[in-house]
Amino acid sequence: MTTANLLDFDLEGLAAFCERLGEKRFRATQLFRWIHQRGASDFSQMTDLAKSLREKLATTAHVEALPVVAQHESADGTIKWLFDVGDGNAVEAVFIPEDDRGTLCVSSQAGCAVGCRFCSTGHQGFSRNLTTGEIVAQLWFAEHFLRRHLQRDERVISNVVMMGMGEPLQNYTALVPALRTMLDDNAYGLSRRRLTVSTSGVVPMMDRLGEDCPVALAVSLHAPNDALRSDLVPLNRKYPIAELLAACKRYLAHAPRDFITFEYCMLDGVNDQPEHARELIELVRSQGVSCKFNLIPFNPFPASGLVRSPQPRVLAFARILAEAGIVTTVRKTRGDDIDAACGQLAGDVKDRTHAAERMAQRRTVVLHPALGKVSRASSSPAKEQ
């Protein structure tokens, strides 16, 4: 008999499940806390639940962790896990500790159907959507592992970014209950400002997210015009830049932050020229979107045929944006010493994401528009928003 994976439920879903078992809804809150706040998966441990309920749960439900294929810890504290999701597929989650926060980068799909030219996940193709339980399991495991590992009683993960493998807004049905669980005070209690969905621009789903579960939004822009963006992000042919920016403006009416973060992967000779920066300024001004820019140095992989922009060009690009009054950050790489390990892993499993490389880029250079010059700050996409 198949039993329900309780990680698939947000609190509302768990309450409905408890009702189906003939239990009062408030039991769901107790159960939810045991699972998410205390990391319990064994119902017999849940001593304040009636024995009869524990017995019912033992035959109808389970809490399903994802098997860890590999774990890599960087000297700077960045930890990357590779989880087995079956059929030879693996997904990554990356923990990035900072002085005042702990950020977990979470995957939403095995592979990705969008097929961006500069993204190794995109080159790998699409395998399948993760379930709500598989998305939540990454946080559930990481949070409780880290509490034991760091010997901390209180919450370790303060920020979650949906920036691992996959396009979260192409897995909307599974994503929303996962976000609700992350936000729930009876579970992880993240604030909406510290939970970021990153999208390549699935316009209709951006609108739905704004209505259903507004959290911080990052949009992967990567180009200032449709010709270039369609070449880099094929989804742009369906939802061109004008529609995307209009959706950003609509989203801002619901968003917990008063700006959208635009991610921009810097590709040598492709999108990194001063005229691209000026075109971007013109674009966001003409559309009137309140935004910040996060410039990401490209993490190269052979099949892409693309090259990372040299750092002086990235800084020059950032300065042009900053001088136009747009807050701009440049991610710097962290967790370098596990990048090699990531490459090794890529040989063993289908994973080609290099999410660790692109997400473990945390010490950022922040350009303040007021100053128009570079200052150094310890920051992260989640903090920037």
Nearest distance from residue 199's CB to ligand SAH, in Å?
5
Q: Buried b vs exposed e over 159-190: b needs ≥16 C-beta within 10 Å?
A: bbbbbbbbbbbbbbebbbbbbbbbbbebbbeb
Contact status: 167 vs ligand SF4 (CB under 6 A): yes
The pairing of strands 159-162 and 195-199 is: parallel
Cα–Cα dist 301/226, whole Å: 25
88 with 159: CB under 8 angstroms? no
> Using CB under 6 A, which of 13, 102, 166, 210 touches ligand SF4?
166
Among 271, 299, 328, 385, interactor with ligand SAH by CB under 6 A: 299
200 binds ligand SF4 (CB under 6 A): yes
**Active-site residue, 92 included:** yes
Binding map of ligand SF4 across residues 122-151, x = CB under 6 A, - = no contact: x-----------------------------
| Angle at alpha carbon of residue 307, lines to 301 and 230, rounded to 5° | 90
Strands annotated E in 143-191 = 159-162
Q: Check residue 167 for interaction with ligand SAH (CB under 6 A).
A: yes
Nearest to 356 by CA among 13, 22, 96: 96
277 binds ligand SAH (CB under 6 A): no
Residue 112, both tokens: 């990705």
Single residue of 115, 210, 297, 335 touching ligand SF4 by CB under 6 A: 115
By CB under 6 A, tell whether 298 contacts ligand SAH. Answer: yes
304 CB-contact burial (10 Å; exposed 0-12 / middle 13-18 / buried 19+): middle
220 belongs to the binding site for ligand SAH (CB under 6 A): yes
The site map against ligand SAH for 35-74 (x = CB under 6 A) is ----------------------------------------
Identify the residue among 64, 143, 263, 339 touching ligand SAH (CB under 6 A). Answer: 263
Q: Are 105 and 93 in contact (CB under 8 A)?
A: yes
Using CB under 6 A, which of the segments 117-125, 205-213, 276-284, 359-367 binds ligand SF4? 117-125
Question: Looking at beta carbons only, is 77 or 234 nearer to ligand SF4?
Answer: 234
119, 265, 291, 342: the catalytic one is 342
Question: Which of 246, 238, 180 has its CA nearest to residue 209?
Answer: 180
**Residue 331 near residue 68 (C-beta atoms within 8 A):** no
Name the residues that contact ligand SF4, by CB under 6 A: 112, 114-116, 119, 121-122, 166-167, 200, 220
Name the residues that contact ligand SAH, by CB under 6 A: 118-120, 163, 167, 198-200, 220, 263, 265, 296, 298-299, 358
Active site residues: 92, 342
